[in-house]
Structure 1
């Protein structure tokens, strides 16, 4: 059964506080080669998962605090991991089509950080709460989620996951937000999909 990219779109997100004594803002680059973004989506009968590549990403740190961050995702790299051969190729094509993410018209998705706050007692070691804007297919929605930040020499490692609602981005295929759930039956694909990320940032 065709399934939803739990993207992107998706997408991804770098956030952290850097300890810096410089007054001038510093910029750090997300390493697209060592960073990873994964996705998972589900329908009534099963789940699919995969990964997607980062196009570019940048953060700005001002007076030891992050003041801006963006991550651009290459939607043309949608890649299914739980299937092989013809089934994999078919799902990759379908997710890239206008039924889902329309990558020919919308080849990138983007995350823009709005706010990053310290978090105590977060699950799975999360120590910050991030809020940002996700743009997929030209539609933008705001999302909040926990992240774990591990400082390194001259950079940081950031990991976590966010849950996105595909209906917010006009991804309609077999969605109960656009079609009758009873008529869809076991062909229904759930709106929510999960995007996991492990980001490496440095100069």
Structure 2
């Protein structure tokens, strides 16, 4: 009897330990998730949205350990303009001057490491691919099991997006567009 109880307890410990370290891919609900962007220039800024095509977070127990997200670059939407101005800016952002969406439909972010900082906040190191060019990026991610949020600052020039950049062109004056743009992500699972 004691031997059976011991075997049962040992089996329970093994099952619980296995379950607690099982890597689960939590699929993102792309319809309820939101990705917004802001690009700044000397004379102001523009903002908009962009669609998440697919994504998941890898979770072990209650801890984020990885993930992968694909953005549909053809969905770039400008929300601070209307009419012809809106259409012109969206077309320009999709052109080869910026993101070249005819040849580079998707951008991709792959989480390499996620280290718990405090509470539900993780320090994330990932690879971001835009226009076929991959660079590392670091940011904080907050995850509560049902949703995740993150704010990323991206240097567009690292991805050969140099149009209007004061880092590459002289005498742009008021036409200078800052190299960094910001992405805010609100994911639902």
Q: TM-score, normalised by structure 2?
A: 0.85
Q: Which has the higher contact order (CA 8 A, sep 6+)?
A: 1
Q: CA deviation at 1:52?
A: 0.3
Instruction: Tell me what 1:185 maps to.
Output: 173
1:70 aligns with 2:60: no
1:142 aligns with 2:142: no
Within 2, Cα distance between the matches of 1:30 and 1:95?
26
Q: CA deviation at 1:160?
A: 2.0
Deviations 1:140-189, CA, capped at 9 Å, x for gaps? 111111122223xxxx2001201000000000101123212xx1111000
Structure 1 spans left out of the alignment, 5+ residues? 1-19
1:128-139 alignment, distance < 5 Å: 128-139=122-133
Instruction: Tell me what 2:50 maps to.
Output: 52
Instruction: Tell me what 1:9 maps to.
Output: none
Instruction: Tell me what 1:107 maps to.
Output: 105
Deviations 1:59-82, CA, capped at 9 Å, x for gaps? 223455433310000000000000
Q: Bigger radius of gyration, 1 or 2?
A: 2
Q: CA deviation at 1:22?
A: 4.8
Q: Greater helix share, 1 or 2?
A: 2
Q: CA RMSD in A?
A: 1.8
Following TM superposition, where does structure 1 have runs of at least 4 consecutive aligned residues deviating by more than 6 angstroms?
A: none
Change (3 A) 1:193 1:128: same
Alignment: residue pair count: 172
Instruction: Kindly indicate whether the alpha-carbon contact (under 8 Å) linking 2:48 and 2:78 is maintained by their aligned counterparts in 1.
Output: yes
Change (3 A) 1:25 1:150: closer
Within 1, Cα distance between the matches of 2:25 and 2:114?
17
Q: TM-score, normalised by structure 1?
A: 0.79
Q: CA deviation at 1:23?
A: 4.7
